Amino acid sequence: MHERSLRILAEIEEAEQEAAAVRGVPRGLLRVTASVAFAKRQLAPLLPAFLARHPEMQVELAGTDRYVDLVGSGTDVAVRFGGQSDSSLIARKLAPLYRMLCAAPAYVAKFGPPATPADLAQHNCLILNQQSNLLADWLLVGPKGELTQRVKGNFVADNGDVLFEALLAGLGIARVTDFLAAGELRAGRLVRVLPD
């Protein structure tokens, strides 16, 4: 009986050591959703280093500009812009997000830059349509505070990345997030309009 007890204790100790060895090692499937543009330009470049650091992890990244039922789809993490609609979920602010008005230099050369927010009504504005929510009322913040400007244009997309490509092609003026515009502004492929 004594030998059996020693063997059981040794097996328990071995099992505890094995458990301690894997306790701090992340493993398993991590389901993440983010907008197409954010997934493509911000998350995807980070994945090789993340997976190299955590080789027992598997990442499933869903790039979509539509809001996802996180619980129903089994999604673990969602990176979204704006407020949280489901109060049963835990949200953390990752970083501030800034939007700016931009156009391709060719568009500005052909049509001129708007001088005031009201001038946007005379320009071709590229509009994002998020789940039947046509974002044609642009909230602008300037030295005199906030104002909402109704815009119109001949191109509407339900995907921010597609809209961004139309912007780069010179189709019109668009509201663009800072993480999308920064590199293109530095390279001269975009210019800011109404920067104030």
Please, is 76 exposed, middle or buried when counting C-beta atoms within 10 Å of its C-beta (0-12, 13-18, 19+)? middle
Identify which of 15-19, 135-139, 148-152 has the greatest average pLDDT.
148-152
- 65 and 135 part of one domain: no
CATH of the domain at 11: 3.40.190.10
* Residue numbers of the domain that contains 127: 99-192
For residue 87, being part of any structural domain is answered with: no
Q: Where are the alpha helices (DSSP H) in 39-191?
A: 47-53, 70-73, 105-111, 160-168, 178-187
pLDDT of residue 8: 56
For residue 154, being part of any structural domain is answered with: yes
Please count the structural domains in the chain: 2
Answer for the pair 104, 170: CB distance below 8 angstroms, yes or no.
Answer: yes
The share of the chain scoring above pLDDT 90, in percent, equals: 33
What would the two tokens of residue 177 be? 């997030």
pLDDT of residue 41: 81
Query: Taking residues 173-182, what's their average pLDDT?
Result: 90
- 183 and 103 part of one domain: yes
